[in-house]
Amino acid sequence: MTTIAFGSDHAAFDLKETLKAAGRAEGYTILDCGPATTETVDYPDLIPPVIQAVREGATGVLLCGSGIGMSIGANRFKGIRAALCLTPTMATLARAHNDANILILGSRLISPEEAVACLHAFLSTPFSEEDRHCRRIEKLERMW
């Protein structure tokens, strides 16, 4: 079963805990890369541990208040395709068309129920492997 590596800032701590419980309930192994409390943290500090876990085969989930900072930060790493999603449809398309390996969620923009639905969609959708999507991902990788 897939491991899900979670990282959040303080603003998204509660949503991270909700998503961890949902992942456990579906039988996933959970890796919490922090934080352990709601004390203020700098979101960039939580990105590298999740990136490392993704490089080791985990699926990543990063959360902050808007999701924007985590998205900007995560996508600076080679081989990472982090997708900020607000709906399960976005999460499905991020996986199917972009082979996204990190789901980004903004805790101030999405309900816990919708976030759980996004997580489920992201985890249950495989990459389509259609030629056009493979070609586009290869072009993105060459930008580095």
Catalytic residue numbers read: 64, 97
Distance separating alpha carbons of residues 120 and 134, to the nearest angstrom: 23
Distance separating alpha carbons of residues 113 and 106, to the nearest angstrom: 13
Distance separating alpha carbons of residues 84 and 68, to the nearest angstrom: 7
62, 16 Cβ separation under 8 angstroms: no
Beta-strand (E) ranges in the chain? 3-8, 29-32, 59-64, 82-84, 102-106
Of 29, 34, 1, residue with least CA distance to 16 = 34
102: its two tokens: 């990190």
